[in-house]
Amino acid sequence: MIDPAKIRKDFPILSRRVRGKPLVYLDNAATTQKPRAVIESLVSFYERHNANVHRGVHELSEEATNLVETTRAKVASLIGARHAHCVIFTRNTTESINLVAHAWGRKFLKEGDEILLTEIEHHSNLVPWQMIAREKGVKLRFIPLAHDGTLDVDSARQMLSPRIKLIAFSALSNALGSVSPIDKILAMARSIGAKTLIDAAQWAPHRPIDVRAWSCDFLAFSAHKMLGPTGIGVLYGKEDILEAMDPFLGGGDMIRQVFLDHSTYNVLPYKFEAGTPNIADAAAFDAAIDYLRGVGFDEIERHERALLGRALSVLGSMPEVEMYGPKDLDRQACLVSFNIAGLHPHDASTAIDLEGIAVRAGHHCCQPLMAKLKIPGTVRASFYLYNTLEEIDLLAAAVSKAARFFKKEEAIA
Amino acid sequence: MAEGDSELQDLYRDVLLDYFKSAAHKGAIAEADIHSHGVNPVCGDEIEISASLTKDGVQEGRRLARLRYSGHGCVISQASSAMMAEAMEGLSVAEARELARAFKSMMLRETPPEALPERLGEARAFEGVRKYPMRVKCATLAWNTLLEGLKAPSDGAASTEFKEK
């Protein structure tokens, strides 16, 4: 069993106060806090190992290169990738998806092709496809949202055709917390020979990944949502597909030989890593993975289920609270998305913030989803391994107080 | 007042909540001389302002005869829209511009609330919002959107767009 009191000691920021009250950090779907080991790893890199990678023959350069490559191998083992060179470092999930849209989409999509997305996608798994679709004359289609807050895969079956060349979807919705029917979608893709991209930005911090079991073609996630530093993201791709793709950005590190009029490209993964990479953050990401593995994803899941269960029951029993998403422990994970009836989510979250509780309010980079739900946005409280049941109760108390205040002021009916 | 409500009370002052509830200037003007649309991408808040101008005089001297707004947003943006609409009617284009700038400069802490023109006396109620930089944009959305609209050519056909960062 996770002992949050013990875990919290590893996160220096969790002992600070906000607005005169102890910080309650429930914005983990946006970014997570960092354990001391990650912070120390960053400091240690700059104090002891700082050098550029892959170029120098001097000792420091070799150390820096080894640190980045150690993380790459660890990421590969974390997600079950057979080869470390199929793990490409990017800045974040968004850049990973853009890399696929440009380097794969530009080369392999043609007019009349279709890309199947879902109605719950984060803008980062929608806008890159809109851009490439416009350029190439490709049609975007969407797996619809069902009334229970999950994806309506059955109705998506009717859209299937050989024209669909890619199905790109998030494993876990950042706006509703709904868990996607990953296996069903992957099976649909296989039945029509479409490539698959899984946006695992919300999944990777909380649940184990096995890209060989999923047999997905691409998978993207960010270190900063899983205890790691900002500015380092991952794109996993199947080796043959990555090999067949053109480079994304041109420049240093991604080349083999350069002539004035042409160049030949480096091998994987460097073909996709132009310029000096984010060395320090890549090195420190290693410590985040060690930390998560030390706790164990089984334990993390058990703890988060308890937190979600408490949130669904205390917030769900408040008449003034409207909850979105499946509201079910088997189909929802890690976060609750809700509104206080009659109150704009920004007013609600400001009132909650005044209690020292950090939640996110707004459209969560999912404007089409909010339009479908006919709401301007929601308040989102998202959990992680260091949150406690008491913090969920503090959130519920703050929600209740906000509802009372605005009702008393007759601002809401 | 319940214990611990003081911060909420300071932010959401009574005047502000009264304006939030007011429907006096909500709506749209069909034959508008000014039409301006504003969006705050941070929260998705949206406002549409339409206004008719008096016919006399040159552009800067024409007066805002009627001003209406519609859209959706938080208590702060809606209250601010209502207060703006009330304060603007009857002003010349030049005066309206000046008043909007005075409000913005108060919100951006360039001037103290006491320096607000008498016509905007009640806008002091937004003082509490200044402590929350993320919410200042909620308060200034309507005013920025109107300022864009005031740039529209005098023939009145054009509509403008204000895009918050």
Answer yes or no: do A289 and A144 share one domain. Answer: yes
The partner residue sitting opposite A405, judged by closest CB among B5, B14, B45, is B5
| C-beta atoms of A19 and B7 within 8 A | yes
Domain closes at, from A293, A327, A359: A293
Answer yes or no: do A237 and A367 share one domain. Answer: no
Answer yes or no: do A324 and A309 share one domain. Answer: yes
Answer yes or no: do A151 and A220 share one domain. Answer: yes
pLDDT (0 to 100) of residue B161: 84
Domain closes at, from A277, A293, A309: A293
Task: Tell me the percentage of chain A whose pLDDT exceeds 70.
Answer: 100
Q: Give residue-wise pLDDT tens across range A189-200.
A: 999 999 999 999
| C-beta atoms of B74 and A362 within 8 A | no
Answer yes or no: do A326 and A194 share one domain. Answer: no
Answer yes or no: do A319 and A217 share one domain. Answer: no
Answer yes or no: do A366 and A400 share one domain. Answer: yes
Give domain status of residue A169, yes or no: yes
CATH number of the domain that residue A256 is part of: 3.40.640.10
A365 is annotated as an active-site residue:
yes
* Cβ pair A285, A228 in contact under 8 A: yes
Using the Cβ of A268 and the Cβ atoms of chain B, whether some distance falls under 8 Å is answered with no
Mean pLDDT of chain A: 95
Q: Give residue-wise pLDDT tens across range A288-312.
A: 999 999 999 999 999 999 999 999 9
Contacts of B51 (CB under 8 A, 6+ apart): B29, B32, B33, B34, B35, B64, B65, B66, B67, B68, B88, B146, B149
* Cβ pair B124, B117 in contact under 8 A: no
Q: Give residue-wise pLDDT tens across range B49-93.
A: 999 999 877 777 889 999 999 998 899 999 999 999 999 999 999
Please provide the DSSP assignment of A55-107 as one string.
S--SHHHHHHHHHHHHHHHHHHHHHT-S-GGGEEEESSHHHHHHHHIIIIIHH
Give domain status of residue A221, yes or no: yes
> For residue A413, what pLDDT band results from cuts at 50, 70 and 90?
low
pTM greater than 0.90 (yes/no): yes
Give domain status of residue A148, yes or no: yes
The domain of A171 spans: 51-293
Answer yes or no: do A309 and A384 share one domain. Answer: yes
> For residue B1, what pLDDT band results from cuts at 50, 70 and 90?
very low
Answer yes or no: do A59 and A177 share one domain. Answer: yes
- For residue A55, pLDDT over 80 is answered with no
- For residue A272, pLDDT over 70 is answered with yes
CA–CA separation, A368 vs A115, rounded Å? 17
Answer yes or no: do A283 and A365 share one domain. Answer: no
> For residue B31, what pLDDT band results from cuts at 50, 70 and 90?
confident
The pLDDT of A95-121, averaged and rounded, is 97
Give domain status of residue A46, yes or no: no
Of B107, B82, B93, B102, nearest in space to B21 by CA: B82
> For residue B153, what pLDDT band results from cuts at 50, 70 and 90?
low
CATH of domain B22-152: 3.90.1010.10
Choose the weakest-confidence range: A163-172, B144-153, B155-164.
B155-164
C-beta contacts of B46-52 below 8 A and 24+ residues apart: B46/B71, B46/B72, B46/B73, B47/B71, B47/B73, B47/B77, B47/B81, B47/B141, B47/B142, B47/B145, B49/B142, B49/B145, B49/B146, B49/B149, B51/B88, B51/B146, B51/B149
Residue found under tokens 């006919």: A374
Domain closes at, from A293, A327, A343: A293
Of the CA atoms within 13 Å of residue A278, those in its CB half-sphere come to: 21
Q: Which amino acid is at A95?
A: E
Answer yes or no: do A234 and A309 share one domain. Answer: no
- For residue A22, pLDDT over 80 is answered with yes
Structurally, chain A folds into a number of domains equal to 2
> For residue B4, what pLDDT band results from cuts at 50, 70 and 90?
low
Residues of B contacting chain A (CB within 8 angstroms):
2, 4-5, 7-8, 11-12, 14, 17, 20-21, 42-45, 72-76, 132, 135, 138
| C-beta atoms of B72 and A376 within 8 A | yes
Answer yes or no: do A74 and A154 share one domain. Answer: yes
Secondary structure of residue A339 in the 3-state scheme: strand
pLDDT (0 to 100) of residue B56: 76
| C-beta atoms of B73 and A376 within 8 A | yes
- For residue A1, pLDDT over 60 is answered with yes
The backbone torsions φ and ψ at residue B90, rounded to the nearest 5 degrees and listed phi first, read 100, -15
The C-alpha of B88 sits at a distance from chain A's nearest C-alpha, in angstroms, of: 24
Of the CA atoms within 13 Å of residue A174, those in its CB half-sphere come to: 29
